[in-house]
Structure 1
């Protein structure tokens, strides 16, 4: 059992984010998560969490673990996958050192086959509930919507400096006005939110808002 656990921990992917030097979740922190998760959740398959460590300055660090559930494809060619993120508190009692963030996350991607395959390299987070058809159309048409949105960016002081940068879709959201929003991250970690409005059978960018580097990841 110990050999299996050591091999499993050694194979786990670890994402490190630090300003000075790479940092990793320690074997004790990883083992702590396995113990807590197995005690509080029903096992549904091989547990392969992804650990993330972030330096917060002055020698402090935060540790989190991400667990993706099984992907499901419903009627439309659209896959949904639940994602849970857990945070580590080393000062809490042993049985309460890990806690789950709320609300839970959902990843979506276009998939024409009957069964969902492996998760794509850049799955999109569904930040607010959207109708299945709207979700599918937004995923399929987001390159065209982004190209048209660059015209709006030119007239927006917060967006114009980065309008020519490369962007990738990271999330689907809903604005306060109820309209769907495409969330993009550019190649310098800035963010752009493109509000979308339907005109007959076409999805058009209605408004844009941009933020500087560091705002695109949460």
Structure 2
């Protein structure tokens, strides 16, 4: 079993703060989250910086997340594509981000996002029947899944992106039937992202 990669170094952190402050007006205390992983046997260092959480449609919250990667050979940081995160808050404010916020992969109206998030457990349970009839989904249909992202399919239907405990992904397209949402199709992939 391989040893875990070494944690982020003081020099890598200092280089990040220099890089970030050169292109951003930090104004306040910057609290990046650093992560060190092993990618194909090589140590990979990344950082994320979350913007302020904003209330969308009650009780929906939205937040921008910037991601950065460190090139160890060049000893410099670069920006990756920014992300949008959403979640439903249970208090009166959006300042407490959940442990696993939902990534927004395609633009969706706020009300549609809110309804999808609120109904995702029911939609997942209904989709398990669809998963049973799909050869790529059938082996993992009974596993536990968490909602990882919201997306839009090519045909325009909203998609709930779930991930199970072994990194497999299930994409459940949702359609409106009269006044309720129904799971319309399921596509599964091994290894998720």
Q: Distance in 2 between matches of 1:133 and 1:162?
A: 30
| Pick aligned residue for 1:108 from 79, 86, 89 | 86
- Summarize deviations over 1:93-140 as a string: whole Å, max 9, x none: x6xx111112x1011011254421310111100110000110000000
| 1:86 aligned residue (65, 68, 75) | 68
Residue 170, structure 1, aligned to residue 148, structure 2: yes
Question: Which of 39, 47, 52 pairs up with 1:70?
Answer: 52
Aligned counterpart, 2:12: 29
Q: Is this contact kept in 2: 1:179–1:195, CA < 8 A?
A: yes
Contact map agreement 1:66 1:86 (CA 8 A) in 2: yes
Structure-2 change in CA distance of 1:156 and 1:48 (3 Å):
same
Q: Does 1:138 align with 2:121?
A: no
What pairs up with 1:1-218 in 2 under 5 angstroms?
20-23=2-5, 24-58=7-41, 60-92=42-74, 97-102=76-81, 104-212=82-190, 214-215=191-192, 217=193
Stretches of structure 2 lacking an aligned partner (at least 5 in a row): none
Distance 1:50 1:32 in 2: 14
Q: Secondary structure at the match of 1:177?
A: coil
Structure 1 runs of 4+ off > 6 angstroms?
none
TM-score by length of 1: 0.83
The answer for unaligned runs of 5 or more in structure 1 is 1-18
Contact kept, 8 Å, 1:78 with 1:112, in 2: the verdict is: no
- Give the Cα–Cα distance (whole angstroms) in 1 for the partners of residues 137 and 62 of structure 2: 31
Preserved CA contact (<8 Å) 1:150 1:164: yes
SS at the partner of 1:168? strand
